[in-house]
Amino acid sequence: MQLIFNLKLNCILMTKIFDYICTLSDLKILCFFITFIPFFAYLLYGSLKKLFWNKEILVDKDLGRSLLSSSFAITTFLLTFTLIQTLSTYQKINSSVYDEISIMEQIDITLVGYDTKKTDAFRTQLEKYIQSIINQEWGGMSDDSEQIKPSKEFHDLYNMISKASNSTDDQLKDLSQKCFPLILDLSKVRYLRQQFAGMSLPKIFWIGIFFLILTSVTLFFLLDKKNPYYSLILLFPMISIGVLMALVVIFDKPFSGEKSVTAKAFQLFIDRMHERSYLNNK
């Protein structure tokens, strides 16, 4: 029972440390992993050396290097595949954000084409909705425990455009016919963006990676020569693994870190809305 408690405590501690590492700058994350992973491997190698210092172990350097190569290849393949997936997710999120802004751009341009007195309320509500994304929603996009709530501002905008179809004013009816399909498209891309909220790799993935590193170092120790030169050789593949791990960590959480997807594009769209208003009123 005590062992299980200690394991849980260690897991919680490791999770806290890992979460802290993720908050560092990209350069610091890279430096940490290319330093820590070789150090971890060297420390493990030294521990095994002390553990078996007075025991005679059969050395088969060809088999040892072959198994190390195989284990290293599995680890690097898994990390490279994961990195490609995280980069692909990052691009999808960026694309969904710009799709969302593109639809809002179409809505705003359509609204500008009508009488200002009739469309000001619609444009004001559209701006309120965008401000709610920046000020309320975006902060929770990086937190996997945060549930994105339905947007009142979006609901109000949807209702305004929908109810305009029942207006006796022909311009408002025409406006509704043009904007309603766009608001439906906007709800779809909004939903897609929200699905990425709090996305990150499960902790078990990193446990598996460290298990593969442990396996590689142990096989290398047991089947190859045991001297400082060979322990130095071991460090080079570990540096490569450290680099790949750092890159995966940097792109793993698309809404946090230096390379995160930000709400800046939404703010720029608000600026364009104000510019259009100024030009329309001249």
Say how many domains are in the chain.
Answer: 1
pLDDT-derived band at 32, boundaries 50, 70, 90: very high
- How many residues would you count in the chain? 282
In a domain, residue 45? The reply is no
In a domain, residue 246? The reply is yes
Residue 124 vs residue 278, higher pLDDT: 124
pLDDT-derived band at 278, boundaries 50, 70, 90: confident
In a domain, residue 128? The reply is yes
Contact (CB, 8 A) for 248 and 83: yes
In a domain, residue 10? The reply is no
Q: Which of 103, 61, 267, 66 is nearest to 188 (CA)?
A: 103
pTM: 0.78
Tell me the pLDDT of the chain averaged across its residues.
82
Position 244 scores a pLDDT of 93
In a domain, residue 172? The reply is yes
Q: Which two tokens stand for residue 209?
A: 């990676």
Position 54 scores a pLDDT of 64
Amino acid identity of residue 113, one-letter, is: G
Q: Count Cβ atoms within 10 A of the Cβ of residue 174 and give its class: 0-12 exposed, 13-18 middle, 19 or more buried.
A: middle
**What's the rounded Cα separation, in Å, for the pair 17 and 158?**
44
Give the tens place of pLDDT for each residue, 69-81.
788 888 899 999 9
Give the tens place of pLDDT for each residue, 98-141.
999 999 999 998 888 887 777 888 898 999 999 999 888 887 77
pLDDT-derived band at 144, boundaries 50, 70, 90: low
Q: Which of 80, 129, 67 is nearest to 104 (CA)?
A: 129
In a domain, residue 177? The reply is yes
Position 259 scores a pLDDT of 78
Position 64 scores a pLDDT of 64
Amino acid identity of residue 20, one-letter, is: Y
Give the tens place of pLDDT for each residue, 190-241.
888 888 877 778 888 888 888 888 888 887 777 666 667 767 777 888 899 9
Residue 268 vs residue 3, higher pLDDT: 268
Contact (CB, 8 A) for 209 and 75: yes
Range of the domain at 180: 61-281
Position 80 scores a pLDDT of 93
Q: Which two tokens stand for residue 192?
A: 């897609």
Alpha-helical segments (H) within the chain: 2-22, 26-51, 61-112, 116-132, 152-163, 170-195, 203-223, 228-252, 264-281
Contact (CB, 8 A) for 254 and 89: yes
